[in-house]
Structure 1
Amino acid sequence: MHYRKLGKTGIEISEIGFGAWAIGGDAWGPVEDTQSIEAMNKALELGVNFIDTADVYGSGHSETLVAKVIKGRRDQVVVSTKGGLMGHHRDPKGEPVYDTPEKIIEACEASLRRLGTDYVDIYFCHLWWDKHEETEAFMRAFEILKRDGKVKSVGVSTENLDYIKHFNREGGLDAVQLDYSILNRTTEKEVLPYLQEHGIGAVVRGPLKMGILTGKFSKDTVFPEGDIRRNWTKEPWFQDSLDKVDRLSALENEQRTLSQAALRYVLNHPAVSAAIPGAKTPSQAELNAAASVRPLLSKEDLQFIDETAP
């Protein structure tokens, strides 16, 4: 396993992390807690030292499973969690509202209790839209949480450059979690160059495009009840993605799978600190971790990707 610095923070993280959304059990089809724990343990055994979760994943269930894995070795694991999409503070339409620092601090403290720790290494604002009042509340809460030692670094989960700049206007943003893959390269134009210029760590979610870049789906795939991908097969973009994956399968060879090539692609960008593919089983965790030691993509590979998925 290879390791990188998280931007200017000095925190060293494995370039392949463990994305813990699926193990929450409420969005990606059937999952067994025992297997989820085994998957995380396998990842750590293979050198992964970074686990990313959120309070909304399984309404906190993901965090409680992560707690079981990091117990007794907290100082060996970099843990990030997120707040901003779940809570008891809601507007008349039922949407969560985080318009004061106190509410955000309360959400963070609830995550700490579920995680069984007194600090997290990275705390992300989980809002994907720009609500000005909530941005200010998060920025103030970040200051307090850092001051009190409850978080070591702070970030935001978004691909909106204006939003990122607003959070970073005083230079206090440490990391950004963003959607980036061979099939979604929009952040290459402005967002990733900005992060690199300002020493902000980039944590890539969706590097396998929610499993599409594993090559295991087809137009006839039927996703199970409770899987957010269940209606994807009706969407034109899904068929377009499958067509591209058919061509991208040429990236497979004796040394790597398609998914490992896809992970190597996002890690190829100099702004990226880590990719956090999800896993529900030890074998998935093992395949993901192995991408770190697979050969770099060649110039010919990169040119092929440019032509196939521009």
Structure 2
Amino acid sequence: MEHRELGRTGWKVSAIGYGAWAIGGDAWGRTDDAESLRSLHRAIDLGVNFIDTADVYGDGHSERLIGQVLRERPGEELVVATKAGRRLDPHVASGYDRRNLTAFAERSLTNLGVDRIDLLQLHCPPGEVYHMPEVFGVLDDLVAAGTIRHYGVSVERVDEALAAIRHPAVQSVQIIVNMFRLKPAEQFFAAAREARVGILARVPLASGLLSGKMRADTPFSAEDHRRFNRRGEAFDQGETFSGVEFEAGLAAVEELRALVPEGATLAQVALRWILMFPEVTTTIPGARDARQAKANVHAAGLPPLSAEAMAKVRDVYDRHFRAAVHPRW
């Protein structure tokens, strides 16, 4: 497993991480805790040392499952990142105050069963928050108090990412990066590199579209955001299929299949594509079972994509998505 530096933290984390949204048990349909725990253990066994979660994933259920794994693997050097802010109702910039952020962090400490949070990220806050230095002052104070070690942000848009890294103690930016989302590579990666800020590539498989397993009639349960959030009904539309139209995504996938070498899957090629960018610290695909965890890890072992393959991805993006996706996110 390749390891890459995470910002200026001094940590080196696995290029393939573990995204723990799906195991929270909400927004992705039903889950099995025993299988979720097996997937976490399998990923760690195979070299994954970075786990990303949030306090709202299953109302803390994802954090508590990770806490169980931490107790079952004492002494292992794992980096756990969580996120805070989306518990606010209403979710407004003024809610990102000292009282709320402190309470959110303390709740995550309890859920994870740890004394200090490795990396706390603002969870896709309203855009105004990135221009409120007092919010980042609160995070500085949480670091000084020993509640968190470092902090970063999770963003929806590139302009938010660029605003966030103007705050000097931001160590990481979590942003959607995949074959259907090239704007971060074009307009943010260079700035992140200059600022020595880590990049956590989220939604790497476009909510499963880039697995190559979906069809026009693929069913999704009523609890699955791929059914109820295609137009942004519950949260930002970009979180579901990266904001692309489902049918357009299916058409693009058919073109991308030509890039898959024998013995690999489209999902693995999609993950390896992300790792072609040295600015990316880690990508965080989900894994609902141990088989998926293993397949994700093996993506890091694929050979580098050729210049021709990288150009093909750009061409597919340009023709199918640039006009609709690039201006919005």
- TM-score, L = length of structure 2: 0.87
Q: In structure 1, what is the equivalent of residue 247 of structure 2?
A: 239
Structure 1 pair 161–246 and aligned structure 2 pair: CA distance change class (3 A): closer
Change (3 A) 1:279 1:178: same
CA distance, structure 1, for counterparts of residue 119 and residue 291 of structure 2: 27
Matches within 5 A, 1:92-241: 98-132=95-129, 135-231=132-228, 237-241=245-249
Distance 1:230 1:111, change over 3 A: same
2:297 is aligned with 1:292: no
Distance 2:104 2:224 in 1: 26
Q: Structure 1 204/236 Cα, relative in aligned 2: closer, same or farther at 3 Å?
A: closer
**How many angstroms apart in 2 are the aligned matches of 1:135 and 1:119?**
25
Q: Are 1:15 and 2:23 counterparts?
A: no
Structure 2 unaligned residues grouped into runs of 5+: 232-242, 319-329
1:84 counterpart residue number: 85
The answer to whether the Cα contact below 8 Å between 1:159 and 1:187 also exists between their aligned partners in 2 is no
- The aligned counterpart of 1:26 is 26
> 1:173: how far off?
1.1
Letter in 1 for 2:205: L
- In structure 2, which of residues 268, 274, 278 is the aligned counterpart of residue 270 of structure 1? 278
Q: Contact 2:222/2:228 (CA < 8 Å) preserved in 1?
A: no
**What is the deviation of 1:306?**
1.8
1:236-260, Cα deviation, whole Å (9 max, x unpaired): 7110011000110111122421111
Task: Provide the TM-score with structure 1 as the length reference.
Answer: 0.92
Asked if 2 retains the 8 angstrom alpha-carbon contact of 1:139 and 1:167, the reply is no
In the TM superposition, residue 75 of structure 1 has moved relative to its aligned partner by 4.4
Q: Does 1:48 align with 2:48?
A: yes
Q: Distance in 2 between matches of 1:126 and 1:53?
A: 10
Whole-angstrom CA distance in 2 between matches of 1:97 and 1:121: 25
CA contact (8 A) 1:255 1:295 kept: no
- Tell me how far 1:74 sits from its aligned partner: 5.4
Q: Deviations over 1:83-122 (max 9, x none)?
A: 00015xx44xx76952422220110111011000011221
- Counting aligned pairs with the same residue, the percent is 35
Q: Give the C-alpha shift of residue 129 in structure 1.
A: 2.5
Paired residues in the alignment total: 306
Measured after TM superposition, the shift of residue 277 of structure 1 is: 0.3
CA contact (8 A) 1:102 1:141 kept: no
Alpha-carbon deviations, 1:188-239, whole Å to 9, x = none? 2211221111110000001100111001111111101200001578997110
Q: Is the Cα–Cα contact under 8 Å of residues 99 and 134 in structure 1 kept in the other structure? A: no
**Could you say if the C-alpha distance between residues 249 and 134 of structure 1 is closer, same or farther in structure 2, counting changes exceeding 3 Å?**
same
The AA in structure 2 aligned to 1:212 is L
Equivalent-residue separation in structure 2 for 1:25 and 1:135 (angstroms): 33
Shift of 1:48: 0.4
Query: Secondary structure of 2:246's partner?
Result: helix
Instruction: Name the structure 1 match of 2:237.
Output: none
Show structure 1 runs of 4+ deviating over 4 A: 94-97, 231-236
